[in-house]
Amino acid sequence: MLKSIKNYFFSAFREIFVYHHSSLEFRAKTYAVLIASSHEPLSNYQSTLNEIASEIYSEPDRASALVITVKEYLKNIHIKKQRGEEALLIEVIRELRQVPRYALKIEPEHLTRLQSCTNDEDSVIYQDRLIDFLEQKRLEYRELKR
C-alpha cells in the first residue's frame, strides 16, 4: 500500500521529486517506443526493464521512477489509446532536436536486451530498425561533439 502511494506521488509530481526528470523521461520514452512496437505485454519485458533501470541508476527510487514512467507511456499507448508508438517516436525525435545531448541517453545495448524479450519475428525486425535509427542519432551527436 505504501509503495503504491509513493509511486502515485512519483507519477503525479515527477518534476518536483525526481532530479533531472526530463532526461529520465526521455530514456523512458525510448524504452516505451521499443516495447510498444512489439504489441506484446509488458510482463515479457518487466524483469529486463527492472535490471536495466537498476544498472542505470544506483538509487532504487530513481530506478523505480524510470520503470514507472515507462509503464505510464505504455499505458497511454495501449490502454488509453491517446497516442501510438509512432507519436511517441516523433516526440523522441523532437526532443533530440531540442536537446541533442539526450542522444547520449540512448543505450543500444539496453535496447537490444529489451528486444531479446520479443517473441514475434516481425516485431523484432521493426525493433532492429528502431534500434539502428536511435543508435544513428547517438553517433551523429558524438560526431558533432568532435
Q: Per-residue pLDDT tens for 53-68?
A: 999 999 998 899 899 9
- The 3-state DSSP class for residue 1 equals coil
Query: pLDDT tens for residues 16-62?
Result: 454 557 899 999 999 999 999 998 999 999 999 999 999 999 999 88
Whole-structure pTM value: 0.84
Q: Give the pLDDT of residue 39.
A: 83
CA distance linking residue 123 with residue 114, whole number of Å: 12
Query: pLDDT tens for residues 109-122?
Result: 999 999 999 999 99
Q: Give the pLDDT of residue 16.
A: 47
The cell numbers describing 78, all together, are 495501449
